[in-house]
């Protein structure tokens, strides 16, 4: 029986003696890889199709795994989603190992007779446990490598997420420097690709019912019965409503009520058509929320909505505002965030247009306050909203 010694096979074309596979050396100096019956010869180059395909599979699988790892971090929010992400990661690992094993088997098989015995740049596979055992061993090594790799990467990522989440304030964002002025929106919600166009036929119920239904649904949470259940009505009107403590239920802050009845003739209570049936349409202006935003830099001035006609001044006889003068009371500011004020309702201003003549106009409605910008060409909805109003008889 020959005495076997462990040695390392180096790449025949490499000057750096890079080891490729473990082999054995017997007493006669013959190098082999554990095959009792057959000698198989394989050579490997740095840019072989096997290496290229193996690298591609590895990178693709790592990308899938990284995505799944991010999803696993969400398990604290959704157990089902986290479990699904973990299954995807395991599936990706299994797919990678399987494909690598198949590619390795194919490579070894196709290069079995490529070189002769006298060629010094070959791996002689002989006198061992067989090709299947070699592939099995490589498969185990690859599996262990990827298991260890993913465990370490997942642990590091989970630790980073934990440290990040432990430093965040759940009530206030850390950075707000890019959002200084609130956006302004208009209802009915008829936003197109480029412009906002409110177009209807006052004599066609189907034409304007879409507008009135949109306003009706939008104002539903502002019903008095719903507001009294969640918000307070004894606010000190005309001044900012600063709150240091969480005096609301479930560790929240209080919010002032806003009734739809404050919108007068545009509330939909006395006129369910909101004026669209008689050519006096109503629109509702809402200012978006910004945490801790004060609309007038503590000067005590109340912000208000002002609508001007950019085109078609002869199509509107006059404009009405609800509440009076189109004001937004200071008691609704500052806003402390969705978690701190889950029942907060934006103050609204309704604008009623009395149309005449051609009844087509381009309107700009702006929220007027000292620290609300409206001349930002990159954001057409900052501090203002522009829409087209078209009505036909």
6-12's contacts with Cβ under 8 Å and 24+ in sequence apart are 7/31, 9/123, 11/44, 11/46, 12/43, 12/120, 12/121, 12/122
pLDDT of residue 244: 86
Res 359: pLDDT: 84
The pLDDT score that the predictor gives to residue 228 is 87
pLDDT (tens place) for every residue of the chain, 393 residues total: 444 444 344 444 444 444 444 444 444 444 444 444 444 444 434 445 555 556 656 666 666 666 555 555 544 455 555 566 666 666 666 666 666 666 666 665 565 555 343 443 334 444 344 555 666 676 777 777 778 878 888 888 888 888 888 888 777 777 766 677 898 999 998 776 667 888 888 888 888 888 899 999 999 999 998 888 888 888 888 889 998 888 877 788 999 999 999 999 999 999 999 999 888 999 999 999 988 888 876 666 789 999 999 998 888 989 999 998 899 999 999 999 888 899 999 999 999 999 987 788 999 999 998 888 888 777 888 889 999 998 887
pLDDT of residue 263: 94
Distance CA 127, CA 33 (A): 7
Distance from C-alpha of 195 to C-alpha of 182, rounded to nearest angstrom: 19
Residue ranges per domain, the chain? 5-167, 184-392
Quote the CA–CA distance of 240 and 302 in Å, as a whole number.
Answer: 10
Strand partners, 6: 24
How far from 377 is each of 34, 204, 360, 371, CA to CA, in Å?
75, 37, 25, 17
**Per-residue confidence (pLDDT) for residue 216, from 0 to 100:** 93
**CATH tag for 184-392 (out of 3.30.565.10, 2.60.40.1660, 2.60.300.12, 3.30.1950.10):** 2.60.40.1660
How far is the C-alpha of 103 from the C-alpha of 48, rounded, in Å?
Answer: 12
**Could you give the CA distance from residue 105 to residue 96 in angstroms, rounded to a whole number?**
14
What is the pLDDT, as a whole number, of residue 362? Answer: 92
Torsion angle (degrees, nearest 10) of CA 24, 30, 31, 34: -60
pLDDT of 41 reads 40
Report the C-alpha gap between 230 and 218 in whole angstroms. 18
* Global pTM value: 0.61
Distance, C-alpha 66 to centroid of its chain: 17
Distance of CA 302 to the CA centre of its chain: 35
CA distance between the termini of the chain: 108
pLDDT at 330: 92
> Cβ atoms within 10 A of the Cβ of 151, count?
10
């Amino acid at each position: 029986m020959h005495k076997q010694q462990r040695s390392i096979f180096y790449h025949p074309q490499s000057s750096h003696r890079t080891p490729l596979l473990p082999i054995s050396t017997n007493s006669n100096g013959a190098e082999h890889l554990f095959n009792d019956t057959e000698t198989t010869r394989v050579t490997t180059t740095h840019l072989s199709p096997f290496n290229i395909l193996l690298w591609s599979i590895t990178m693709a699988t790592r990308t899938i795994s990284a995505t799944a790892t991010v999803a696993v971090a969400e398990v604290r929010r959704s157990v089902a989603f986290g479990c699904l992400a973990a299954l995807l990661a395991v599936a990706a690992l299994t797919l990678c190992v399987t494909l690598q094993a198949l590619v390795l088997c194919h490579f070894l098989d196709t290069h079995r007779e490529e070189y002769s015995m006298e060629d010094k740049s070959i791996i002689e596979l002989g006198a061992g446990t067989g090709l299947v055992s070699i592939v099995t061993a490589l498969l185990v090594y690859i599996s262990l490598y990827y298991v260890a790799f993913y465990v370490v990467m997942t642990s590091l990522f989970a630790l980073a997420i934990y440290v990040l989440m432990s430093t965040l304030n759940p009530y206030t964002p850390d950075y707000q420097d890019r959002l200084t002025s609130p956006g302004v929106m208009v209802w009915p919600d008829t936003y197109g690709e480029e412009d906002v166009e409110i177009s209807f036929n006052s004599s066609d119920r189907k034409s304007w019912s879409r507008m009135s239904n949109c306003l009706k649904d939008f104002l539903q949470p502002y019903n008095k019965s719903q507001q009294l259940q969640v918000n307070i009505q004894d606010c000190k009107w005309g001044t900012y409503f600063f709150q240091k403590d969480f005096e609301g239920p479930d560790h929240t802050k209080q919010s002032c009520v806003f009734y739809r009845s404050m919108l007068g003739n545009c509330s939909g209570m006395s006129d369910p058509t909101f004026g669209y049936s008689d050519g006096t349409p109503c629109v509702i202006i809402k200012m978006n929320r910004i945490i801790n935003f004060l609309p007038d830099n503590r000067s005590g001035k109340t912000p208000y909505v002002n609508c001007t006609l950019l085109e078609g001044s002869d199509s509107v006889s006059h404009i009405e505002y609800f509440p009076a003068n189109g004001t937004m009371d200071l008691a609704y500011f500052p806003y402390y965030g969705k978690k701190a004020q889950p029942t907060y309702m934006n103050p609204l201003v309704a604008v009623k247009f009395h149309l005449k003549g051609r009844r087509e106009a381009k309107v700009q409605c702006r929220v007027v306050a000292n620290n609300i910008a409206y001349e930002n060409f990159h954001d057409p909805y900052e501090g203002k909203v522009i829409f087209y109003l078209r009505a036909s008889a």
